[in-house]
A = this chain, B = another copy of it.
């Protein structure tokens, strides 16, 4: 269930003494990091025991299995955790803090749970944006503060910056002055899977090994251009372009993916338009796995946005930064 993950070569050289155990504990998986005094990753371990897939021994068993060896070596290491581990179904609920949220508000919302082996685990709260269309995040707030750490350009600029976290439930956060001002959730990844696997659209698709980049871009452009009747209408073209010989079965999944990501960015652009702004004029960062961020970079370029960089190690940096701000690590050196 647990396996060691090699520490990234680039940072492990910077080593230093172990200073913090940092956990990214989500619904379907858990990642544990042993961080040095300067925030560098010394070792990493990964477990499939997300909070919905716990073994009989629960949170304690997973914690022992992933972090026991580290704690045996250095019993006094502080422990910080973020993600669904702080939800109502988690180890201990860390009630949401509300937007606008800065790092010290996150620190103020930390809850502590005593692990069986005596160690205190500090759980970072999620963020809630109240209102008519409420939004919630758990884990992404930590990644966002990781992205802000050591990137001064993100905090400057009159309009602030936009940080995108593509995935099952993609998030786009508006940050400025070191705060998460507000954010949106797009069910892009999960809707894609549901449409592909459980509607007529999947029936004419054929799997392929290589990405169909042209079809992906075509989907993005179709969603972006105004001449359609909205997403419920455009998605049907995945089928009808196939029926009329304009889209091969191998291209249909990437076309649909492009459509949905295009509709996501179009929706975001409409929010910006109401504020006399647009994607092309914003400072953007992406957090996520490289392949998915690359898809978003391609899609963003269709919206005139060509400088969306992917932030590396956002989770590890975020956990270290919050731990430092909470006084859990002696050195408050930035994980830049």
Contact partner of A135 among B194, B227, B236, CB < 8 A? B236
Footprint of B on A, CB under 8 Å? 128, 130, 132-136, 169, 172, 184-188, 190-191, 193-195, 197-201, 222, 226-237, 240-241, 243-244, 246, 260, 263-264, 266-268, 270-271, 274
Give Cα distance in the complex from A108 to B237, angstroms: 27
Quick one: closest B residue to A129, CB to CB? Answer: B240
Quick check: B191 and A233 within 8 Å, CB to CB?
no
Quick check: A186 and B270 within 8 Å, CB to CB?
no
- What distance in Å separates the Cβ of A265 from its nearest Cβ neighbour in chain B? 9
**Chain B residues in 8 Å Cβ range of A172:** 229
Quick check: A229 and B267 within 8 Å, CB to CB?
yes
Give Cα distance in the complex from A197 to B186, angstroms: 18
Contact partner of A200 among B190, B228, B229, CB < 8 A? B190
- What distance in Å separates the Cβ of A145 from its nearest Cβ neighbour in chain B? 22
Give Cα distance in the complex from A199 to B199, angstroms: 13
**Chain B residues in 8 Å Cβ range of A191:** 195, 199, 232, 235
Quick check: B134 and A233 within 8 Å, CB to CB?
no
Give Cα distance in the complex from A301 to B229, angstroms: 19
Quick check: A133 and B228 within 8 Å, CB to CB?
yes
Give Cα distance in the complex from A199 to B190, angstroms: 6
Quick one: closest B residue to A268, CB to CB? Answer: B229
Contact partner of A263 among B231, B246, B270, CB < 8 A? B231
Count of identical protomers in the assembly: 2
Residue of A193, A228, A233, A268 with most partner-chain B CB within 10 A: A233
Quick check: A267 and B228 within 8 Å, CB to CB?
yes
With A190-B199, A198-B198: A133-B231 Cβ-Cβ less than 8 Å: no
Give Cα distance in the complex from A296 to B133, angstroms: 23
With A136-B243, A232-B264, A264-B232: A226-B274 Cβ-Cβ less than 8 Å: yes
Quick check: A184 and B222 within 8 Å, CB to CB?
no
**Chain B residues in 8 Å Cβ range of A244:** 128, 130, 134
- What distance in Å separates the Cβ of A284 from its nearest Cβ neighbour in chain B? 16
- What distance in Å separates the Cβ of A189 from its nearest Cβ neighbour in chain B? 10
Quick check: A185 and B236 within 8 Å, CB to CB?
yes
Give Cα distance in the complex from A139 to B190, angstroms: 32
Give Cα distance in the complex from A270 to B190, angstroms: 26
5 closest A-B pairs (Cβ-Cβ)? A230-B267, A229-B267, A134-B240, A194-B194, A186-B232
Residue of A197, A240, A260 with most partner-chain B CB within 10 A: A240
Give Cα distance in the complex from A202 to B20, angstroms: 39
Give Cα distance in the complex from A237 to B169, angstroms: 12
**Chain B residues in 8 Å Cβ range of A134:** 237, 240-241, 243-244, 246
**Chain B residues in 8 Å Cβ range of A240:** 133-136, 185
Known pairs A185-B236, A190-B199, A229-B267; list 11 more (Cβ under 8 Å): A132-B237, A133-B222, A134-B246, A135-B240, A172-B229, A186-B233, A187-B199, A187-B235, A226-B270, A227-B274, A230-B231
